């Protein structure tokens, strides 16, 4: 898992480190990381570094200081650096002096627009961890003039550092170079999109950071935990998933949710409901009945997709909540709980529940999501004593015990009708296999996003295609896991680290999973989908971090 830390925790860690290192050390480490990334991008994409034009957008604080120091380092490589001072009287004094000593130029006011428009690359040092609200009008007007790729310092300006919310104009970076660790603004809401590829520069905060506030699952760990049959297994030992979904009006939801459970594990799937004929026709390996009461024993239930909110749906929900096994509650079942909270009384005490609302369902169940998606999901998880998977481009999964993970979709391809039914079926089968509900929800989400990318290959898809790609997605995460295990084994056997890393990188590329960079999981798909300039500037696959030197 990769950790993500809130601004308060980053600041505390910074204070502790700053107390024991000479003044200015952290800023110079940070700035050196920015300069390294900028020089690398210039070299790879313009064929050189010396003589290239870099514009620095410099705000009033230390974020601008980082940009100015980075400019000073870039001058040593012969880059033509011009700093646009947005608050000339408050620009970081030491950074400004360093840039000027190194031969960098500064501009203010009306001359700035032309400098920004003519740059080969723009560095965004407008505002960082102290950001409040969107870009101010003067900065927004300059950002509008940018045609070159942007490297954001620490965080794209205009993005809320702790929620990723963007409420007005914001910088859209090709690369964000951040310091010490990822912050929530890099992975949540619109901030995840504005950040582009995130590079983490080690400035020595690591030992002081403590437990992360959020985590990101890695494809390799999902692959390692994915349940597959062992030599002693049969169809029952791997968990029987019950699907209470679909109706005469919506048989498709039942077919999709059941299909996901069929693909996810080798355990048995029982379907119960009004779409039994359609399910049996498409998935002959399932056992079908007309009502949940007749379904027989299962190890987890999925309830809701296409179920309807009438009498049959209410009866099905009441039955599964009282069955004493984990339940994934989705779609119409969420609406039923929202409109009739008394239905919660049917829940067998201690039954693990996973709720999978999108924003409108969440609002019905627990009030408006608001700008802080982590706070909303955490609040609902505690209120309902359930894992809450709040869907979005970045999906937040909160457990009642306070654990929170974020799944940053590598693409928007999962946004298609029926996609949620597939996700629910995946979660249900992982619950039936006995996986921790929070991990089950997060793992299903990661595989679901990867399946969408593999299916789409850069063209729109429907949920059936996504479903068909689930086995390939599972193969990919299992291959990533195999590669890490092989790498670990060879390192333990005394093989060189480089060989291990190379093997892992090769295997994850073969698997279509670009893991540590956390960018598009289907290699190349995300880059190809981006706007021309951004795609051209997407960094080469790397390990997602650079040394501060």
Ligand X SMILES: NC(=O)C1=CN([C@@H]2O[C@H](COP(=O)(O)OP(=O)(O)OC[C@H]3O[C@@H](n4cnc5c(N)ncnc54)[C@H](O)[C@@H]3O)[C@@H](O)[C@H]2O)[C@@H](O)CC1
Binding site for ligand X (CB under 6 A): 14, 18, 26-27, 30, 59-64, 66, 127-133, 135-136, 153-154, 179, 203
Q: Name the residue whose CB lies closest to ligand X.
A: 128
Q: Mark the segment that binds K ion (CB under 5 A) among 27-35, 118-126, 230-238, 351-359.
A: 118-126
Burial of 232 (0-12, 13-18, 19+ CB in 10 A): exposed
Judge whether 12 is annotated as a binding position.
Answer: no
Q: Which two tokens stand for residue 106?
A: 């500064």
Name the one residue in this structure whose structure tokens are 């290192």. 21
From the CB of residue 292, how many other CB atoms can be counted at a distance below 10 Å? Answer: 25
Name the one residue in this structure whose structure tokens are 């009030």.
367
Torsion sign over Cα 379, 382, 383, 385:
positive
Shortest spacing between CB 402 and ligand X, in angstroms:
27
With CB under 5 to 8 Å by kind, the binding choice for 265 among ligand X, K ion, none is none
Between 128 and 219, name the residue whose CB sits nearer to ligand X. 128
Question: Do 256 and 467 contact (CB within 8 A), yes or no?
Answer: yes
- The least CB distance from residue 143 to K ion, in Å, is 11
Task: Please give the full DSSP string across 353-398, using - where no structure is assigned.
Answer: EEE---HHHHHHHHS---S-HHHHHHHHHHHHTSEEEE-SSEEEEE
How far is it, in rounded angstroms, from Cα 209 to Cα 369?
A: 28
Q: Is 235 annotated as a binding residue?
A: no
Q: Does 14 bind K ion (CB under 5 A)?
A: no
Cβ proximity to ligand X: between 64 and 414 the closer is 64
| Per-residue DSSP letter, 507 | H
- Which two three-digit tokens encode residue 411? 């693409």
Minimum distance between the CB of residue 415 and ligand X, rounded to whole angstroms? 29
Per-residue contact flags (x/-) with K ion for residues 141 to 180, judged by CB under 5 A: -----------xx---x-----------------------
Least separation in angstroms between residue 32's CB and ligand X is 11
Least distance (Å) between residue 154 CB and ligand X: 4
* DSSP reduced 3-state for 31: helix
**128 labeled part of a ligand binding site:** yes
Binder to K ion among 120, 124, 332, 372 (CB under 5 A)? 124
Smallest gap from residue 135 Cβ to ligand X (A): 6
Q: Which two tokens stand for residue 246?
A: 């679909």
Binding partner of residue 124 among K ion, ligand X, none, CB under 5 to 8 Å per kind?
Answer: K ion
Nearer to ligand X, 179 or 362 (CB): 179
List C-alpha distances in Å: 132 to 6, 7, 156, 175: 15, 12, 12, 21
Q: Is 193 in the site for K ion (CB under 5 A)?
A: no
Residues 6+ apart with CB under 8 A from 417: 462, 463
**Residue 106 in contact with K ion, rule: CB under 5 A:** no
CB 158, min distance to ligand X, A:
6
- For residue 136, the partner it binds in K ion, ligand X, none, with Cβ less than 5 to 8 A by kind, is ligand X
- The DSSP secondary structure of 255-324, one letter per residue, reads HHHHHHHHHH-SS-EEEESTTHHHHHHH-TTSEEESSGGGS---SEEEE-TT--SSHHHHHHHHHHHTSS
* Strand, coil or helix: 200: strand
Nearer to K ion among residue 157 and residue 299 (C-beta) = 157
Q: Which is nearer to K ion, 71 or 128 (CB)?
A: 128
Instruction: Kindly state the tokens that stand for 310.
Output: 């009438």
* Pick 168 or 296: Cβ nearer K ion: 168
CB of 201 to ligand X, least distance (A): 9
Chain positions contacting K ion, by CB under 5 A: 124, 128, 152-153, 157
Q: Please give the annotated binding residues for K(+), written as ranges.
A: 63, 124, 157
Q: Please give the annotated binding residues, written as ranges.
A: 62-66, 124, 128-134, 154, 157, 253, 306, 358, 391-395, 420-421
């Amino acid at each position: 898992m990769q950790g993500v830390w809130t601004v308060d925790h980053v600041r505390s860690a910074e204070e502790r480190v700053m107390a024991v290192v000479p003044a200015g050390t952290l800023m110079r480490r940070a700035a050196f990381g920015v300069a390294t990334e900028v020089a690398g991008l210039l070299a790879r994409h313009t064929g050189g570094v010396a003589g290239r034009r870099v514009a620095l957008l410099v705000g009033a604080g230390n974020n601008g200081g980082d940009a100015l120091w980075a400019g000073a380092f870039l001058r040593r490589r012969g880059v033509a650096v011009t700093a646009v001072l947005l608050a000339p009287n408050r620009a970081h004094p030491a950074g400004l002096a360093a840039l000027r000593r190194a031969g960098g130029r500064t501009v203010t006011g009306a001359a700035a627009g032309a400098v920004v428009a003519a740059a080969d690359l723009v560095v965004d040092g407008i505002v960082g961890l102290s950001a409040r609200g969107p870009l101010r009008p003067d900065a927004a007007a300059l950002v509008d003039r940018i045609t070159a790729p942007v490297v954001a310092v620490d965080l794209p300006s205009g993005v809320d550092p702790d929620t990723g919310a963007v409420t007005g104009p914001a910088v859209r970076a090709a690369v964000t170079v951040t310091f010490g660790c990822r912050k929530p603004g890099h992975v949540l809401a619109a901030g995840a999109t504005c950040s582009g590829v995130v590079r983490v520069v080690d400035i020595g905060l690591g030992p002081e950071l403590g437990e992360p506030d959020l985590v990101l699952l890695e494809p390799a760990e999902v692959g390692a935990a994915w349940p597959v049959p062992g030599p002693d297994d049969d169809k029952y030992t791997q968990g029987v998933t019950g699907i209470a979904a679909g109706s005469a009006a919506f048989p498709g939801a039942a077919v999709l949710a059941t299909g996901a459970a069929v693909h996810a594990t080798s355990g048995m799937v029982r379907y119960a409901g009004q779409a039994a004929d359609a399910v049996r026709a498409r998935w002959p390996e399932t056992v079908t009945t007309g009502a949940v009461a007749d379904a027989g024993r299962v190890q987890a239930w999925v309830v809701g997709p296409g179920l309807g909110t009438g009498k049959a749906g209410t009866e099905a929900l009441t039955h599964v909540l009282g069955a004493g096994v984990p339940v994934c509650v989705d779609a119409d079942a969420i609406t039923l709980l929202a409109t009739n909270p008394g239905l919660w009384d049917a829940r067998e005490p201690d039954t693990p529940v996973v709720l999978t609302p999108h924003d409108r369902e969440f609002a019905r169940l627990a009030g408006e999501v608001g700008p802080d998606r982590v706070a909303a999901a955490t609040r609902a998880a505690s209120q309902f004593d359930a894992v809450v998977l709040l869907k979005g481009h970045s999906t937040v999964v909160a457990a009642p015990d306070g654990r929170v993970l974020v799944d940053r979709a590598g693409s928007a391809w999962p946004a298609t009708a029926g996609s949620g039914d597939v996700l629910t079926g995946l979660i249900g089968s992982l619950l039936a296999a006995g996986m921790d509900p929070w991990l089950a929800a997060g793992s299903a989400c990661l595989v679901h996003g990867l399946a969408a990318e593999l299916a789409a290959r850069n063209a729109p898809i429907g949920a059936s295609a996504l479903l068909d790609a689930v086995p390939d997605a599972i193969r990919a995460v299992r291959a990533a896991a195999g590669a890490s295990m092989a790498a670990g084994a060879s390192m333990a056997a005394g093989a060189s680290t480089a060989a291990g890393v190379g093997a892992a990188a090769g295997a994850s590329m073969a698997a279509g999973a670009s893991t540590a960079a956390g960018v598009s999981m289907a290699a190349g798909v995300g880059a190809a989908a981006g706007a021309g300039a951004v795609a051209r500037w997407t960094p080469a696959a790397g390990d997602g971090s650079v040394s501060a030197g």
